[in-house]
Structure 1
């Protein structure tokens, strides 16, 4: 199979992150899942979660171009939605503390106003090199969705009160995050590269580092360096485990053309399926679970807020560790194996991964951490890991994507099964060593646990995670 080529989004951002794979056609958005917008169920919140994904696609953040900014936008929106609902009926702690309630306010109007109040300014922020065209497209999707949703709410005092509550919640979140350190420039061509074996340097085809300061962004919840079960340090280049990990990626992660690969057709599907941004994919999974869980509006708002806070904070910590340790990527390690001092590794100067490697250091895998964090949050909120679901992807070849007539679907019996496959995909695509994936699993699980335990807790003992 040929190495993946990059369509419209990368032509807009070139020589951008190369985290993007397949963008929707200009002006198009994937069809909505027709989530029922009932007052008692999760539909209104789930619908806005899906709209946020459409905004991210239109704004060129998704399906894989800039997941850290994407996760931040989702977290801000869902915290505003959560706080707006709990300003109407206090069931859970608010993220931004507040007093009093507005019980005659429309929850539907509050959710819509809170969501729009975050999506429009955040999507409208021009990110270099994504550009004004992407920002304007994202804003347009958000505004159209708001007009449609708010127009469906009956006019009157409840609607007006709901809009006021939602706008106030959004304004507070925007104020809190105004100086959070999120960079507006995605790429740094002046970032210093390593020269010694094991030290990260620009990956083949790129003369930039992507988001090297994202680890300095202020997290939503995790305000300290986590006390992990083990220290995250790269292994010695002369170790047996390192040699085994190099051989594994070398054998399975090649493009199949320039570089022979032992990867099976299903493994190739897994590699490309999970190439999609973690925020886009795991929010899609969460919508499926919300619809089948019997959650009400408040419960689903809390679930999405916790999920996206964990996803955003996991990116912050992953990028902090990546740019502290600065360990080289498999593509560099394999091409320069003659210099690593390990007699068990074999250099291949032309080794080419299935997908061009992002210009970010290896250790630890942010993608693996995202899956583990999402799994831990959803497991704790729902009360079980054993839940069946089916999902799709927007980073498969054309004809197999979510919005195609016959998309490829993958089914799972457990959340942890999906998380494990997600992590494995980073080896199969040629991006990461297994050591980086394993450490990502541990970090993500800790972040997911701490998120659920540390925020938006139920005000009544009968509610909350079981």
Structure 2
């Protein structure tokens, strides 16, 4: 009789274990996290978020997801509370309650993604799909309930913290004053849009002590009368390069364009086309890295989180430099003094030229990816195929960042010096993120 009961108990144990394994195969799949990040990326694209604001959307959502992962596996992952000095301690799970931390991580990401994007609730349908997926896979009702409750507590904690980053205050800050003075930025065709986010340098940083911690040298002084001046040579270099681009260089310019809202002008007709911005592109590249290196769910969340923090701080630093320098774009100078009909290959974005945003944020992100995935990791980036642009292959993440920087010169929207210095400063920011943040415990 005892042997019979033992056999029954064993069968029940095996059955329960199999059911648990079944639902965890679904909720612990790193591909599901990649899909979830891409879902937010699509919402950012559809709602035309500017690049700097998009970086804010990604960083808080990823941090919320990561804090759940760290709470669920404290022997391998360390909370960002204390590492990011102004992040308060994250709520801890209640003892005795079984939680699927990976499922809760997904929900926390979506909760914050819902809150920081508009229209609010954009991810609600997807959240319902995630919940149904977990139920269909056999997640027990108590685990489901506990996971949802814990995800909500962490997400609300992160949202409360996010509201202190000065974002709301910058919504009502003074607008940029256009000063028509040689060498100073003014709006460019075809949109002639007002300056984008002139106060972004006032947003609270994550790892940097302040927006100005990583300093950049002053840009070359405006001088179009001396043909030997650094500024004149940089202007003529842009004009010369754009006029003699190879097909591959044109591909580079378009591949890294990442213009979230491009105004197309054909005769008297104008229409806009949308793409994800630079931060969204690097979120995609992070996903490629996690898949290529076969990272599990928790490691994937950590990689996305570090990259998003680097992107966020890099944008703040870059925008501080941009609006301090207020440098004129090549298009403005060339149209006024050299060729009124000259146009860049890609559309000039509505903010000052120095330093190159793509160069800074790409280099910063590449440093975190290099730390997480390794140096000289060759990969193919097909992120742009959904916009009709063929993929490109790279020998490393740093090589991709360097190409992103020079592509802005090929596109005709930056001087080379702004891209070279931007790449250098971005690497410094990425290095700082790598040094200060220790997400994985040895």
TM bin, normalised by shorter chain, reads 0.7 to 0.9
* 1:387 aligns to 2:372 (yes or no): no
Structure 2: how far apart are the matches of 1:190 and 1:50? 33
On the 8 A contact 2:284/2:383 being kept in 1, the answer is: no
Structure 1 residue 225: Cα displacement: 4.4
Aligned partners of 2:383, 2:298: CA distance in 1, in Å? 28
The alpha-carbon deviation at position 333 of structure 1 amounts to 2.2
Helix, strand or coil: the match of 1:390? Answer: strand
Greater share of helix: 2
Do 1:81 and 1:114's aligned partners in 2 also have CA atoms closer than 8 Å?
Answer: yes
- TM-score, normalising length from structure 1? 0.76
Q: Which residue number in structure 2 is paired with residue 200 of structure 1?
A: 185
Listed as ranges, the gaps of 5+ residues in structure 1 are 1-35, 125-134, 254-260, 338-346, 395-400
For residues 108-119 of structure 1, the aligned pairs below 5 Å read 108-119=102-113
Aligned counterparts of 2:145 and 2:204: Cα–Cα separation in 1: 34
Give the direction of change, closer, same or farther, for the CA distance of 1:241–1:50 in structure 2 (3 Å limit): same
Cα deviation digits, residues 14-45 of structure 1 (max 9, x gap):
xxxxxxxxxxxxxxxxxxxxxx9755553332
- Matched with 1:354 is 345
8 A contact 2:201–2:211 mirrored in 1: no
The equivalent residue for 1:143 is 124
Cα distance in 2 for residues equivalent to 1:183 and 1:53: 22
- Structure 2 unaligned residues grouped into runs of 5+: 1-23, 82-88, 259-276
Q: 1:189 to 1:215 in 2, by over 3 A?
A: closer
1:268-347 aligned at under 5 Å gives the runs 268-276=250-258, 277-337=277-337, 347=338
Q: Distance in 2 between matches of 1:330 and 1:187?
A: 30
Structure (1 or 2) with the larger CA radius of gyration: 2
* Counterparts in 2 of 1:419 and 1:323: CA distance versus 1, 3 Å: same
2:210 counterpart SS class: coil
RMSD across aligned C-alpha pairs, in angstroms? Answer: 2.5
2-structure distance, mates of 1:410, 1:92: 34
Count of matched residue pairs: 382
Report the CA distance between 1:425 and its aligned residue.
1.2
For residues 112-138 of structure 1, give each alpha carbon's deviation from its aligned partner in whole angstroms, at most 9, with x where no partner exists: 2201210111112xxxxxxxxxx26xx
Aligned to 1:43: 31
| Superposition map of 1:146-295 within 5 A | 146-153=127-134, 154-182=139-167, 191-205=176-190, 206-228=192-214, 231-238=216-223, 240-253=229-242, 261-276=243-258, 277-295=277-295
Superposition deviation, residue 348 in structure 1? 2.1
Residues of 2 paired with 1:109 and 1:44: CA distance? 10
**Preserved CA contact (<8 Å) 2:102 2:298:** no
Question: Please, which of 433, 442, 446 is the counterpart of residue 428 of structure 2?
Answer: 446
Q: Deviations over 1:50-71 (max 9, x none)?
A: 222122123222xxxx111111
Q: Which runs of at least 4 in structure 1 moved beyond 6 Å after TM superposition?
A: 184-189
